[in-house]
Amino acid sequence: MIEQQKQALTDLITFALNDIGVEGVPVRLERPKAAAHGDLACTVALQCAKMLKKNPREVAVSLVEAMHKQPGCDALLSKIDIAGPGFINLTFNQNAKFSVVADVLTKGEAFGSNNSCNGQSVLLEYVSANPTGPLHLGHARQGALGDVLSRIMRTQGYKVMREFYYNDAGVQIHNLAISVQARAKQEQGLDVEFPESGYKGDYILDIAKDYLAQKAIRTTSGDIVESTGNTDDLDAIRQYAVAYLRNEQDVDLKTLDVGFDNFYLESSLYTDGRVNSAVQAMQQSGHTYEADGALWLKTSDEAFKDFKDDKDRVMRKQDGYYTYFVPDVAYHLAKFERGFTRAINIQGSDHHGTIARVRIGLQAASGAFGMNIPKTFPEYLLHKMIRVMRDGEEVKMSKRTGTYVTLRDLVEWVGRDAARFFLVSRKSDAEFVFDVNLALSQSDENPVYYLQYAHARICSIFNQAREKGFVVPTEEQAAQFDLSVLESAQATALANRMSDYGKTLSIAARDLAPHLICVYLKDLAADFHAFYNSDRVLVEDEAVRNARLALLLATRRVLANGLAVLGVTAPERMDSKKE
């Protein structure tokens, strides 16, 4: 049932409870395990039996009598049964059962969306790769998770800012620069030893060749980065290599249809003085000390016991460089300062150890800035890495990198739709194997093909109807049809599944669980196929035919809406498989 019908039923039971002298007891409705027991079940009679000093079945009898006296009961329910010790099973009448169809067809692309979050702003950060090489599979999973989660949260009324944090400072960038420098000098015929800590992939040579050829780079922000071709100018090489790889990463992300609203540079935290300000704020809090030539944050202090960090953490090393979490603290202070009271970071599970120290650093620094930062800021969605199997063997290496499979490799192998779906199809903290052969298969075993085929099959039914001379109604027309002639259990199950779409979006947003949409859509497609196999759609009886066409129009709409949330296309035909 759609939420309006559930609410109407909840109100009806609440008023009936008041009639028998019960107030303040919450009414909970749930689906019975067996469809024969009705559409919904209620255990409220068992909940309030003790209060009324009666056995639950007596309470259920009184409650059902009171329900029948309520106006609108007969218009909503066709049957109310009492089972067992006092369970109340409820069956909606046909029009109420299928009211979701009109709701879907009336709302169209907006079906399932609501404004329950009332425009709350949230900053969603994901990928945030070092610009030192092509994006790997971890970045691919983050990109898909982040993009789909942003779409889900927007359906619930959130104002989502999607942000990419470029780690363009630190030792990794230095290693990138000296790697490109070495390859460039080797290209010039110089006998130069390649640095032990350098990046060895083919892409380093590509950068070096372009640098020597003095090819200019236009960045995503529109700036032009020139090359002098001078292989002794390490700073120029660094700027050129970072710009080159930022563009490469942008291309990779576009192949997966992953976008961002803002790009934030780690280097800006230093040039703007934010790192120094954050360190000073932590020092002013009284929770730092110096020992062994380093600056430490007392994360093991009693004041931070809720964070359960097991030891103090180095902030500034003996060599004067800050450790990884210090600029992270400065960055998240900037997030909060920008007005984002909720921030979600999507990162690999290897970042688990940094959560406590970043949050503690924020708590230590917040006082000096007059900020009241929640202890749970920022939130983290951590994901496990994936393994890729192809032709029965694990794929571990890419020629471009010399070490790991890239995001671009994956998309080139299976296509954007399959890559996006598979990357979000499991819980983020679950490890899984990405089977390339399965993603390419044209069978029901491939969930992407299964869903797209369901959508295309509905479109094919509409085409067949037109070929037979039947009129296929518009969504607007079908929303007005009488659906009381839909009597099969399969039709009811399909309508019930559609009514769960909005709730599924809401739970997925609340729990940061994009995989729930994948699960839901597979169940919806299964219910469609069950209906299609049991109820012939293109019958001569116009009333029955129109009702079934309306049900399919609504099903196609929900499938398309759900696939759009996943960023997966909803094709109208699958040329590889005939009806």
Per-residue pLDDT tens for 391-429?
999 988 765 677 788 999 999 999 999 999 999 999 999
pTM: 0.88
Last residue within a domain, chosen from 228, 248, 268: 248
Q: Report yes or no on 283 lying in a domain.
A: no
Residue 71 and residue 175 in one domain: no
**Average pLDDT score, the chain:** 93
Over 50: is that where the pLDDT of 578 sits?
no
Whether 553 and 468 share a structural domain: yes
Confidence (pLDDT) at 577? 42
For residues 562 and 455, state if they share a domain. Answer: yes
Span 86-91, average pLDDT: 93
Q: Are residues 182 and 81 in the same domain?
A: no
Residue with tokens 């979050």: 117
Beta bridge partners of 347: 382
pLDDT, tens digit, for every residue of 42-56? Answer: 999 999 999 999 999
- As beta bridge partners, residue 163 has 125, 262
Tokens in use for 547?
């009702």
Range from 128-137, 219-228, 546-555 that averages highest in pLDDT: 546-555
Residue that has been written with the tokens 């192809």 in this structure = 390
- Structural domain including 243 reads 171-248
In whole angstroms, what separates CA 508 from the centre of its chain?
7
3-17, 112-126, 216-230, 441-455 — most confident range: 441-455
Please provide the distance, in angstroms rounded to a whole number, between the alpha carbons at the two ends of the chain: 31
| SS3 (DSSP) at 411 | helix
Count of structural domains within the chain: 3
Task: Quote the crossing angle between the two packed helices 515-534 and 447-467, to the nearest 10°.
Answer: 40
Query: Residue 486 is part of a domain; what is its CATH number?
Result: 1.10.730.10
Tell me how far apart the alpha carbons of residues 231 and 396 are, in angstroms, rounded to a whole number: 33
Lowest mean pLDDT among 34-43, 78-87, 207-216, 445-454: 34-43
Whether residue 187 is found in the same domain as residue 77:
no
- Confidence grade of residue 253 (pLDDT, cut at 50, 70, 90): very high
Mean pLDDT value across residues 3-13: 86
User: What pLDDT score does 2 carry?
Assistant: 58
Inside any domain, residue 114: no
Distance of CA 73 to the CA centre of its chain: 40
User: Which of the two residues, 524 and 39, has the higher pLDDT score?
Assistant: 524
Question: Residue 44's domain is classified under what CATH number?
Answer: 3.30.1360.70
Q: Is residue 553 part of a domain?
A: yes
**In terms of Cα–Cα distance, which of 228, 231, 241, 159 is closest to 192?**
231
For 117, 126, 335, 379, the CA distances from 375, given in Å and listed in that order, are 21, 21, 15, 10
The bridge status of strand 343-348 relative to strand 121-125 is parallel
Alpha carbon 11 to chain centroid, angstroms = 33
Tokens of 229: 């071709």
Out of 205, 229, 248, a domain closes at 248
Looking at residues 139-145, what average pLDDT do you find?
A: 96
Residue 49 inside a domain? The answer is yes
Angle between the 407-414 and 137-155 helix axes, to the nearest 10 degrees?
Answer: 70
Locate 398 and state its tokens. 């890419």
| Exposure of 544 in the CB half-sphere (CA atoms within 13 A) | 9
Q: What is the mean pLDDT of residues 184-205?
A: 93
What is the Cα Rg of the chain in Å?
30
Query: Same domain for 88 and 194?
Result: no
452 shares a domain with 536: yes
Does residue 41 lie within any of the structural domains?
yes
Query: Would you state the pLDDT for residue 4?
Result: 73
Do residue 455 and residue 554 come from a single domain? Answer: yes
Find out whether the peptide bond into 378 is cis, omega within 30 degrees of 0.
yes
- Residue 432: its pLDDT value, please? 86
Q: Are residues 453 and 562 in the same domain?
A: yes
SS3 (DSSP) at 196: coil
The region of weakest confidence among 26-40, 127-141, 306-320 is 26-40
- Pick the last residue of a domain from 97, 126, 146: 97
- Decide if 539 is inside a domain: yes
Tell whether 127 is covered by a domain.
no
Q: Is residue 437 domain-resident?
A: no
